[in-house]
Amino acid sequence: MDSLTHIAIGACMGEAFAGKTVGRKAMLWGALAQSVPDIDFIANFWMDTPSSLLAHRGFTHSFLFLAFITPFMALLAERWHRPHNISLRRWILFFGTVIFFHMFIDVFNNYGVGWFEPFSRLRLSFNVLYVADPFFSIGPGIACAALVLLRRRHPKRSFWWKFGLLTGGLYLVYCTGNKLYIDSDVRDNLEKQKIAYTRYFTTPAPLQNWLWYVVAGDDRGYHVGFRSLFDDEKNIRFEYFPRNDSLLNPVRDHESVQQLKRFSREFYTVEMYSDTLVFNDLRFGQIIGWQEPREKFVFHFFVNHPEDNRLVVQRGRFDKWDREVVMGLLERIKGR
């Protein structure tokens, strides 16, 4: 999830744990603990783009990192707030829970989380939430703001941290139900349309959970489409994108290409933009794809111009967005 949502959730968890004992500092500890796994952003300062893509949500989102950082933060907080009546064991339980909750929430996005690094390269992603979903964030955000404004002993503080965590949790359950329904519907569609595939995924389109982006295919290419929970039309309209693997032959053994393939988990296509070889990771969707089915993919890496790839994950995500595009998204969500 986005950093502000992590901070808000962590602040609510901190208030729940020790708000009455250490006051608003408990919120700060919670926000800090929820943010710690994202220190991997510093890898951008010395790694090339393919390496930093794999470093993000890698070791710092693993159980091994959790085991190292939890007692360190617990010892620091326990000493900082002496004298107090909170045992070191409770501090460890608190920090372990908050940091794990960050790792757990991130698995619901489509980026992939390396829980088992460095022992395994396996990346987990449930593809349930868009990385920045305001409907997930609004409850914890309001609760965090209320906790900042209310005085330390205000009787409503308990209500607000519960509100923040409960609304986020209920929305996550609701989105998981949406995911299960969409997956079942997509599998039925693929079978009825006789589309052969060895791998597929569904993930929410930007900023909501009712319109879903669908990719299904094999090593030859992928069928790409969108499905709304409110669609009346039975068939999903797919666009086919050939994989064009042969275009990678001159650079197939390059380390950056191998890293990109590993990062994409085989959901990629290759194409040429004039004289530029482009690697598309299909997992991050298309630029306004619900409106322009043949649009570029958000993640397009310039293989022979690596200096132009610093913002590759976000490249074009909101390009071409204007009032007409936003209204088109809303209409497509409605099933039109």
Cα-flanking dihedrals φ and ψ of residue 111, to 5°? Answer: -70, -40
- pLDDT reading at 12 higher than 70: yes
| Tens digit of each residue's pLDDT (9 = 90 or more) over 44-74 | 788 888 899 999 999 999 999 999 999 999 9
SS3 of residue 238 by DSSP: coil
169 vs 174: CA distance, rounded Å: 9
| Tens digit of each residue's pLDDT (9 = 90 or more) over 180-196 | 999 999 999 999 999 99
Beta strands 211-218 and 199-204, pairing class: antiparallel
The pLDDT score that the predictor gives to residue 49 is: 86
Q: What b-and-e string marks burial along 255-290, b requiring 16 or more CB atoms within 10 Å of the CB?
A: ebbebbbebbeebbbbbeeeeebbbbbbbbbbbbbb
**What single DSSP character describes residue 236?**
-
| Tens digit of each residue's pLDDT (9 = 90 or more) over 274-305 | 888 999 999 999 999 999 999 999 998 988 87
Beta strands 268-273 and 211-218, pairing class: unpaired
- pLDDT reading at 42 higher than 90: no
Exposed / middle / buried, residue 112 (Cβ in 10 Å: 0-12, 13-18, 19+): buried
Q: What b-and-e string marks burial along 44-76, b requiring 16 or more CB atoms within 10 Å of the CB?
A: eeeeebbbbbbbbbbebbbeebbeebbeebbee
Tokens of 9: 């959730």
The pLDDT score that the predictor gives to residue 306 is: 67
Tokens of 201: 């995924």
Name the amino acid, one letter, at 333: I
CB 223 within 8 A of CB 195: yes
- pLDDT reading at 91 higher than 90: yes
Averaged confidence pLDDT in the chain: 93
The pLDDT score that the predictor gives to residue 177 is: 98
